[in-house]
Structure 1
Amino acid sequence: MSRAQWFKVHSWIGFKLSVLLSFTLVTGTLAVLSHELYWLTNPAMRVDSDTVKTLEWTKIYQSAITEQPNKHLLHIRAPIDPWFAAEVVFISQDKIRHRMFFHPTTGEYLGDGRWYNWQRFFRMSHRHLMVPTKVGVTIVGALGFLLAIALITSLVVYRKWWTGFFRMPRRGHRKLFWADVHRLTGVWSIWFIAVIAITGIWYFVEVWGLRAQYPDRGKALSEQALDAKVLPSVAVFSGMMASAKTLYPELAVERVFFPQRNGNGVQLQGHGEALLVRVRANMLSFDPISGQLLVKNKGEDLSIHARISEAADPLHFGTFAGLPSKLVYFVFGIVLSTLAITGTYIYGMRIARVGKHEPKVRRKIWLAATRTMTWGKWFSLTAITICLVITVLLFGGFVNE
C-alpha cells in the first residue's frame, strides 16, 4: 500500500465513528476519576484524614447493621484514599441498592447516597452504553479495533514520528496548525492509545467467549448458611478479620462481600503480592455462621489466562498505582479525546473547501464533516441517544445528590 492509501485508511477509521469514539473517550476519561467526582458532590463521603488512624472493619460493620437492622448488606468497601469514608452497600426490600458512609476509624455513620450516582453513570455509559452488557461491550470493545488500526496507520503515515515529540505547531495556517496539534498529541499518546486499544479488544473477545476460569470461591458448611443468605454475627465477623491477618498476612483487605445467594461465604478481598490484578484475585472466604475458612485464593496462583484478564481493568483505567496513576490517565484521556476531535476537524477542513476569510468557517467545517459521516453519524447518535435516555429513566435525579 502507498502512503496515500494508508492515510485514507487512517482518515476513514478515525472519522466514520468519531462521534461515538469521542463520547466513549470522554466518559472513560471521567470514569477514571468518577469516585473523586462523587466525593466532591456528596459530603457524606468526606472525612478529615487527620482523624483516620486505622481501618476498623468491625466497628463499621456493627454500625451498618445498627443503622439498617432489617436490610441485607451486600458489601463493605475500604476508603480509596485517606480523605474518603468507608462505604457499605445494602439492598432494600424493594430490591434497590443504597449506599451508607462511615468514618473508617470510629465507625460513625456519616450519611447515605443512592446507588446510581456519578461513578455508576460514567462507568456504565463508558463500558456498555447503558444497554445490555453483551451488546454494549461489543460496540464499545469494537472501538478498540478502530483505535489499533488508527495507531498502526498513523505510524506509517507520519514519517520519522519519533522526531515529533517537541515539534511545536505552526501558526501560519489553520490547516497546518491543527494538523500539527493532531500529530503532537498523537505522538505523546502512542503508549496510551496502545494500552486502551489492546484492553478494549480484550473486553470484546471476553464478552464473546474468551473468559478465564477462576478458582472456586467456596461453599458454606453450616446448615443455616446453606439454606439462606445470612450475615455473620459481630463476634464472628471480628474473628474473620483477626484470622485473615494470620491466614494471609500479605492481604490488605479492601472489600468484604457478604452472601448474595444461599450457600455463599463471606469474602475478604484485597491486594496481595500479585501485581496488576483486581482485588477479587486475592481472597479469603469464610462460613458466615461458624467463621470457618472455606477457601484461600492468591492472585499469583492464577493461570496465565486469568492474570491477563485481571490486568485489563488496572491497565485500562490506570488504578494500579492509586491516585497518581489515575491522574496520569485522566490527563492522557483528555489528550486522546482531543485527538479524536481534532482528527474530525482536520478531515472537515479537507473537504469543506472554505476560504481563509469566509464568515462562520468553523461551522461550515463541522457541517461538512458530519455530512460525510453518513451511516457512522446516525449509528453514533442513535447509540448515544439510547444511552442518555436510559440514563434519565434509570438514574432519575442523581445529579442533585
Structure 2
Amino acid sequence: MNKKRLWFQLHGWFSLPIWLLFAFICITGTLAVVSHEITWLIHPEARAENPQNLPAKPLPELKAAVEKAYPGADVGLVYTMEPYLVTALSFTTKEIPSAFAYVNPYTAEIQGMSQGITLIGFLRGLHGWLLFPWQNSYSVGYYLVGAMSFVVLGALITGLVVYKKFWRSLTQPRLRKGKGARILLGDLHRLGGVWSIWFLLIMGFTGFWYLVQGILWHNGIDIWPHEDPMKLGSVPVTESLAPTPVTLSDAMESALAAVPELRPASINLPEHNRDYYTFSGYGDSFFFDRYSYQVKVNPWSGEVSAIRTPSTMNFVQTMSHLADPLHYGTLLGPWTKAIWFIFGLILSGMSISGFMIYSKRTVKAGRSKKPVRETPSNIAPGVSEPVEGVQ
C-alpha cells in the first residue's frame, strides 16, 4: 500500500466508524450556537420588546418585580442575556421549589416562568455531554464529545495530506457538475474542508480543552482556588433583631466602584450568612467570555472581598474563559454567531459526505476485485492433487 493510499485509509477511518455520533455532535453544536435566537423565534415570552426605546432598568429593580409578583420569593440568581432577550431570575417560594422568572429588562414586566429545562440548556447539554447523567464530576457523554476533538484534528491533518496542493481551492475552486454525483460530492467535500481549515482548528483545539477540563474536574483539580465562606467573626451578632445585610443596589455600587469596566452578566445572591454577593460579567477583554470578571462583596459591610479579572489569570484559567467564545462564536454577538452557524452546517455536511465518499469507494473497490478460487490447504499452487508435506 503506497503512502497516499495509507493516508486516505486513515482519513476515512477518522470518520467512518463514528460518523453518526460525530455528525450528531456537529448538528447539535450548530443549533446550540443559535440557541438564544431559536428561543427568541419560538418563545414570544422570551422576547425583550422595547418599542419605546427605553433604557435597561437596574437589575435590583427587576429583582423587586419578581418579589412583588411572587410574595415570599427568595431570588438566588439574576442572569442577563442578549439585549433582545429577557432577563432570567431564579427564585423559590413555599409553593414553587425552583423556577425562573422571565422579566423584560426595559419594562420590568414578568413575561413568563419556567420550572423545567430550557431550550438553551437542552441544546447545550445535548451537544456538550449528550445528556448523559453526571456523577462525581464524571459523565460518559462529556468524554465522548471531548474525544471527538481527536477526530476533527485527525481528519483535518490526514485530509490535507491526501489533498495535494489544497490551497488552490482558495483561489481556484473546482466544482465539476457534469461528471456524476460522486465527483460532485467529492469536490464539495474538499472545498468545504479547505475553506473550513480555520474553523476545524478552532473546534479541534477548544474541544480538546473541554476534554482536558473534564479530566481535571474528575480528578478533583480545581482551576480556581476553592473559596471558603467568610469567617464567622465577620457576621454581625445582635441580641434581638436579625442583622440586616446591605441591599443588592449597594453591593452592586461597591462592585462597580472597584471594577468600573464590569458589566454584570450574572449575580449570585448570598445563600447563607457567610456567603457573598458574587458579580460575574465581562469587560474590555474581547476574546474572553461573559464571566471572566468577578467581584465578591461582603453582604454585611458592603466591602469588596475579592476581584478577578483576565489580567490576574494563569494559563489554565485563561483557557477556561477563552474556550466558549471561540467554540460557540459569541465574540461579536449575532454577527459571529451567524458565521459559526454557517460553518457548523458545512462541518455537519462534511461529516456526512465524507462517510458517503468513503463507503462508495469501499464498495466500488470491493466490486472491482476478481474472485479467487479457493485452494485446499494441502494442495500446492498449480497442482491438482494433494502433495505430501503441504498442510
TM over 0.5: yes
Helix, strand or coil: the match of 1:192?
A: helix
The CA deviation at 1:28 is 0.5
Helix, strand or coil: the match of 2:13?
A: helix
AA at the equivalent of 2:13 = W
Match of 1:306 in 2: 317
Structure 1 gaps of 5+ residues are 355-401
CA offsets 1:293-350 (integer angstroms, 9 cap, x no match): 2212212211122112221111111112211111111111011000001111112222
Q: 1:237 to 1:98 in 2, by over 3 A?
A: same
Q: Determine whether 1:181 maps to 2:177.
A: no
| Equivalence map 1:106-185=2 (5 Å) | 106-133=107-134, 134=138, 135-165=140-170, 166-171=172-177, 172-185=179-192
CA offsets 1:99-147 (integer angstroms, 9 cap, x no match): 2111213322222234412111110011111113432211110011111
The CA deviation at 1:18 is 0.3
Q: Distance in 1 between matches of 2:116 and 2:75?
A: 13
Q: Give the alignment partner of residue 53 of structure 1, picking from 52, 55, 71.
A: 55
Retained in 2: the 8 A contact 1:231–1:259? no
Structure 2 gaps of 5+ residues are 366-391
Q: Determine whether 1:348 maps to 2:350.
A: no
Q: Give the alignment partner of residue 223 of structure 2, picking from 194, 213, 231.
A: 213
AA at the equivalent of 1:339 = M
Q: Determine whether 1:293 maps to 2:276.
A: no
Helix, strand or coil: the match of 2:100?
A: strand
AA at the equivalent of 2:223 = Q
Q: Distance in 1 between matches of 2:5 and 2:25?
A: 29
Q: 1:91 to 1:332 in 2, by over 3 A?
A: farther
Helix, strand or coil: the match of 2:346?
A: helix
Between stretches 104-113 and 319-328, larger displacement belongs to 104-113
Q: Give the alignment partner of residue 203 of structure 2, picking from 179, 196, 212.
A: 196
Between stretches 181-190 and 251-260, larger displacement belongs to 251-260
Q: Determine whether 1:256 maps to 2:263.
A: no
Q: TM-score, normalised by structure 1?
A: 0.80
Q: Distance in 1 between matches of 2:40 and 2:265?
A: 18
Match of 2:23 in 1: 22
Identical positions, percent: 28
Say which one has the larger Rg.
2
Q: Distance in 2 between matches of 1:150 and 1:99?
A: 42
RCO greater where, 1 or 2, for CA within 8 Å and sep 6 or more? Answer: 1
Q: 1:7 to 1:97 in 2, by over 3 A?
A: farther
Helix, strand or coil: the match of 1:206?
A: helix
| Equivalence map 1:84-103=2 (5 Å) | 84-91=85-92, 97-103=98-104
AA at the equivalent of 1:130 = L
Retained in 1: the 8 A contact 2:103–2:109? yes
The CA deviation at 1:153 is 0.4
Runs of 4+ in 1 over 6 A off after TM superposition: 230-233
Q: 1:182 to 1:232 in 2, by over 3 A?
A: farther
The CA deviation at 1:93 is 5.5
Retained in 2: the 8 A contact 1:218–1:294? no
AA at the equivalent of 1:263 = R
Helix, strand or coil: the match of 1:209?
A: helix
Retained in 1: the 8 A contact 2:29–2:127? yes
Helix, strand or coil: the match of 2:112?
A: strand
Helix, strand or coil: the match of 2:77?
A: strand
Match of 1:223 in 2: 235
RMSD of Structure 2 on Structure 1 (CA): 2.6
**Higher fraction of helix:** 1
AA at the equivalent of 2:155 = A
Helix, strand or coil: the match of 1:160?
A: coil
Retained in 1: the 8 A contact 2:189–2:353? yes
Q: Distance in 2 between matches of 1:252 and 1:49?
A: 21
Match of 1:362 in 2: none
CA offsets 1:175-215 (integer angstroms, 9 cap, x no match): 11100010011111111111111111111122112756325
Match of 1:281 in 2: 292
Q: TM-score, normalised by structure 2?
A: 0.82
Between stretches 183-192 and 288-297, larger displacement belongs to 288-297
